[in-house]
Amino acid sequence: MKTLTLELLKQHARLFLEIQNDADVPELFGVTDGKAVGTYIEHTFQDYLEAQFEYERGSSASGIDFPRLNVDLKVTSARQPQSSSPFRSAKQKVYGLGYHLLVFVYQKTDDETQQVARLSFRHVIFIDKDYTADYQTTRGILNILEHDGNIDDIDAFLQERNLPLDDVGRRELATHILQHPPQQGYLTISNALQWRLQYGRAINLASDNEVMGLEYVFGVTDE
């Protein structure tokens, strides 16, 4: 059995969704819980991959779905494309989550006559781990650095952004940023006990342009 690689994962995400797009799913008829729909899609995709490839399936201990590939799968509704992610460090908002994201964006409808649900997959994007930071935070930092900002400017900006850090931690991060400028991130990351990730900007950028760190794996054109 072949070993799953990053390129094969993306290739078979596209093939899987071409098969699944608008197929009848009686198990999801009447289901309104987005988490239940997401879990169904994730498990169905993992089962599809396991029939063809050898790979390590993620667990709660590893924290991500494809630990050897350093990829986490996120499934979200097109109505509001967002999901949660474990909070590890305030640095994630500046330097990224530390792992790649494969994001499935679906739209669910119910057929009352046939008593089945149908999932229309609108987009699938791949976000490189180096570009999974917060858009506004990294944009602001890079703007400060471009205009010869110093550690005090960065420290003040981080305080304005309400990063979950005390004064000492914020100063240490500002020092690190001055020495190691971040990449421009593409996510909107809200502070919470878990990060709240929003994908709207990344989806638009991936589908419209060739952007470093973003890949549009699969999508359908709205009529």
* CATH assignment of the domain containing 120: 3.40.210.20
Angle of helix 151-160 relative to helix 135-146, nearest 10 degrees, comes to 160
Q: Determine the average pLDDT of the residues in 164-191.
A: 96
CA distance 189 to 135: 8
Percent above pLDDT 70 for the chain? 96
Same domain, residue pair 23 and 36: yes
Tell me if 206 is assigned to some domain.
Answer: yes
Same domain, residue pair 126 and 140: no
Q: What is the pLDDT of residue 193?
A: 64
Same domain, residue pair 27 and 70: yes
Tell me if 189 is assigned to some domain.
Answer: no
Tell me if 155 is assigned to some domain.
Answer: yes
Please give the distance of CA 56 from its chain centroid, rounded to a whole number.
20
Q: Which domain holds residue 149?
A: 136-179
Counting the structural domains of the chain, the total is 2
Residue given tokens 């987005």 in the structure block: 34
> Is the pLDDT at 222 greater than 70, yes or no?
no
Question: Which of 63 and 222 is assigned the larger pLDDT?
Answer: 63
Same domain, residue pair 215 and 114: yes
How does residue 223 score in pLDDT terms, banded at 50, 70 and 90? Answer: very low
Same domain, residue pair 105 and 14: yes
Q: Determine the average pLDDT of the residues in 114-140.
A: 96
Same domain, residue pair 112 and 170: no
> Is the pLDDT at 25 greater than 60, yes or no?
yes
- List, for residues 146-167, the tens digit of each pLDDT value: 999 999 999 999 999 999 999 9
CA distance 191 to 197: 9
Same domain, residue pair 75 and 142: no
Tell me if 24 is assigned to some domain.
Answer: yes
Tell me if 29 is assigned to some domain.
Answer: yes
Tell me if 110 is assigned to some domain.
Answer: yes
CA distance 156 to 151: 9
> Is the pLDDT at 112 greater than 80, yes or no?
yes
**If you count them, how many residues does the chain have?**
223
> Is the pLDDT at 200 greater than 50, yes or no?
yes
- List, for residues 33-76, the tens digit of each pLDDT value: 999 999 999 999 999 999 999 999 887 666 899 999 999 999 99
Same domain, residue pair 119 and 213: yes
Q: Which residues pair with 74 in a beta bridge?
A: 103
Same domain, residue pair 33 and 107: yes
Please report the sign of the dihedral spanned by the C-alpha atoms of residue 148, residue 154, residue 157, residue 163. positive
> Is the pLDDT at 172 greater than 50, yes or no?
yes
Same domain, residue pair 111 and 174: no
Same domain, residue pair 72 and 55: yes
Q: What is the pLDDT of residue 61?
A: 62
> Is the pLDDT at 109 greater than 60, yes or no?
yes
Q: Which residues pair with 126 in a beta bridge?
A: 102, 215
Tell me if 190 is assigned to some domain.
Answer: no
Q: Determine the average pLDDT of the residues in 97-111.
A: 96
Tell me if 215 is assigned to some domain.
Answer: yes
Q: Which residues pair with 105 in a beta bridge?
A: 76, 123
Is-above-0.85 flag for pTM?
Answer: yes
Same domain, residue pair 57 and 106: yes
- List, for residues 29-42, the tens digit of each pLDDT value: 999 999 999 999 99
